Amino acid sequence: MNIPGFTGEAIVPGAAGYEQARRVWNGVIDRHPAVITRCHSAADIAAAVGYARDHDLPIAVRGGGHGVAGSAVCESGLVVDCSPMRAVQVDPGTHTIRAAAGCLWADVDRAGQQFGLAVPGGIVSHTGIAGLTLGGGIGWLMRKHGLTADNLLAAELVTADGERLRCGAGEHEALLWALRGGGGNFGIVTAFEFRAHRVGPTVLAGPVIWPLDAAPRVLRFYRRWIREAPDELTTIVKLARAPALPAIPRLHGRPVVIISCCYAGPVAAGARVLRPLRAVGAPLLDLIAPRPYLENQTLNDPTVPHGWYYYWKSAETGELSDDLIGALTEHTRRITSPRSYTLIFQLGGAVAEVGENATAYSHRHAAHNININAVWLPGDPDAERHIDWARGLFTAIVPHQRGVYVNFLSDEGPERVRAAYGPEKFARLQAVKGAYDPQNVFALNQNIPPPPAEIQLQPMHE
């Protein structure tokens, strides 16, 4: 295949590597693109976009391939695969990190820690930086240092008409606003420039595990305790059967509630903050310990490998009410797959300190983000039961829902994408879309279509 100006690999059906190249993290996704363009530069990306437009091919954009909806790959279209672009440059003088669009968090974490720096990222190191940043980015450092998107200083893009531009302070600021949560709607980002922070090399981090029967008591305590928690502390609750990890050999398969912690400050101060949590009830296991920041960034990696089958439902909520705790505990008792689980992210802190309209990322005052993950192995005949379990728990938490995080959405239709932003912000995002991609060339995503008629970009009030 001849793509003018393209120097990467164009992989077509039947070619060596096609089967592997069309696979994404979620094994459920089984799409057959007409061509996968493995891009090595912004020029390659521009050439691939031009070719797709000339041949009327829909365009899917791939960063790390972790989007649960699988929008990084398409049926019969062209995939702009950024995964070969993995360069990271750290500037220890200015505390900034520039990372190419195909980087995974492991790349940025490792490069940053060589200088004692970190960019707030996600909690699984094999996730792509591109999709995660563009949707917002929640993780262990967010309560102290903000979302990933809050630390996005600038980005370089290829636009729908193949132009290259940079947005940042003083240049295309409305576009930067939209990239901080609005997803992949506005162009293909070729490089991200982040603010980095002094973190580690050691953090006090790890999980405490109780039997599921203790969940109501532990979570009621947790509700009170986190009200006063310092921003250095971020916690994530997990309700599941204990995963098959070597670190917890005696507990495999047992229904448990796990509270994982990361204290991004002095270890001694963290020990004081965490003491009351560790003393609640009778934990089965307490694995909180001083550990390298880099190790904490990879602790969850083995529980969510590539190629398993995943189905997600999620919602942002207020405080964990007794009702919510009851529903979460009850549904976890009835979990159908030993690999399924629910995560409850603790938000607040620096996330809530940024103005609601300062970025596209929304619902900054939600207390929690609950992500229900049905997980099963290829060939499992009970797939529908596992999906029904996730839907059943989601239905139970809907009355508590305040919004939804775009990066945890499956293929759930336009109303859920609107719900991720609310009507006023969605309209603003549509106006930016109209300015940068009026023909919706980048439509295979959590789509924000251009506005029906010309709408002027208006500044939003803080």
Residue 72 interacts with ligand FAD (CB under 6 A): yes or no: yes
Listed in sequence order, the residues at least 6 apart from 169 whose beta carbon sits closer than 8 Å to its beta carbon are 153, 154
Shortest reach from residue 326's CB to ligand FAD, in Å: 26
Q: Contacting ligand FAD (CB under 6 A), which of 113, 127, 342, 359? A: 127
Contact pattern for ligand FAD over residues 291 through 330, marking x by CB under 6 A: -------------x--------------------------
Residue 130 interacts with ligand FAD (CB under 6 A): yes or no: yes
Shortest reach from residue 68's CB to ligand FAD, in Å: 6
Contact region with ligand FAD (CB under 6 A), list: 58-66, 205-213, 254-262, 384-392: 58-66
Residue 181 interacts with ligand FAD (CB under 6 A): yes or no: no
- What's the residue count for the chain? 462
Shortest reach from residue 137's CB to ligand FAD, in Å: 5
Listed in sequence order, the residues at least 6 apart from 322 whose beta carbon sits closer than 8 Å to its beta carbon are 216, 220
Contact criterion met (CB below 8 Å) for 100 and 191: yes
Residue 139 interacts with ligand FAD (CB under 6 A): yes or no: yes
Q: Would you call 393 exposed, middle or buried from its count of C-beta atoms within 10 A (0-12, 13-18, 19+)? A: buried
Q: Which long-range contacts (CB under 8 A, 24 or more apart) does 424-429 make?
A: 424/460, 425/357, 425/360, 425/362, 425/460, 427/451, 427/455, 428/457, 428/458, 428/460, 429/178, 429/182, 429/185, 429/360
Contact criterion met (CB below 8 Å) for 325 and 219: yes
Nearer Cβ to ligand FAD (204/351): 351
Q: Which residue in the block uniquely carries the two structure tokens 């103005």?
A: 355
Residue 61 interacts with ligand FAD (CB under 6 A): yes or no: yes
Helix or strand run (H / E) with residue 131: helix 129-135
Q: In what order do the strands lie in the sheet with 59-62?
A: 9-11, 35-38, 78-81, 59-62
What residue number has its CB nearest to ligand FAD?
131
Structure tokens belonging to residue 263: 């204290």
Residue 8 interacts with ligand FAD (CB under 6 A): yes or no: no
Of 24-53, which residues contact ligand FAD (CB under 6 A)? 24-25
Count of CB atoms situated within 10 Å of the CB of 446: 25
Contact region with ligand FAD (CB under 6 A), list: 33-41, 118-126, 224-232, 331-339: 118-126
Q: Contacting ligand FAD (CB under 6 A), which of 38, 66, 98, 433? A: 66
Residue 184 interacts with ligand FAD (CB under 6 A): yes or no: yes
Residue 77 interacts with ligand FAD (CB under 6 A): yes or no: no
Q: In what order do the strands lie in the sheet with 188-195?
A: 88-91, 96-100, 188-195, 152-158, 164-167
Residue 82 interacts with ligand FAD (CB under 6 A): yes or no: yes
What Å distances lie between residue 36 and 157, 207, 414, 448, CA to CA?
19, 40, 27, 24
Shortest reach from residue 329's CB to ligand FAD, in Å: 23
CA dist., res. 228 & res. 226, Å (int) = 5
Q: Contacting ligand FAD (CB under 6 A), which of 8, 137, 181, 200? A: 137
Nearer Cβ to ligand FAD (185/329): 185
Local structure of residue 460 (DSSP, 8 states): P
Nearer Cβ to ligand FAD (181/283): 181
Shortest reach from residue 304's CB to ligand FAD, in Å: 4
Strand ranges for 101-201 from DSSP E:
117-118, 152-158, 164-167, 188-195, 197-198
Shortest reach from residue 420's CB to ligand FAD, in Å: 13
Q: Contacting ligand FAD (CB under 6 A), which of 154, 174, 188, 262? A: 188
Residue 122 interacts with ligand FAD (CB under 6 A): yes or no: yes
Count of CB atoms situated within 10 Å of the CB of 145: 25
Instruction: Please give the residue ranges that form the binding site for ligand FAD (CB under 6 A).
Output: 24-25, 61-68, 71-72, 82, 101, 122-124, 127-128, 130-132, 134-139, 183-184, 188-189, 304, 407, 445
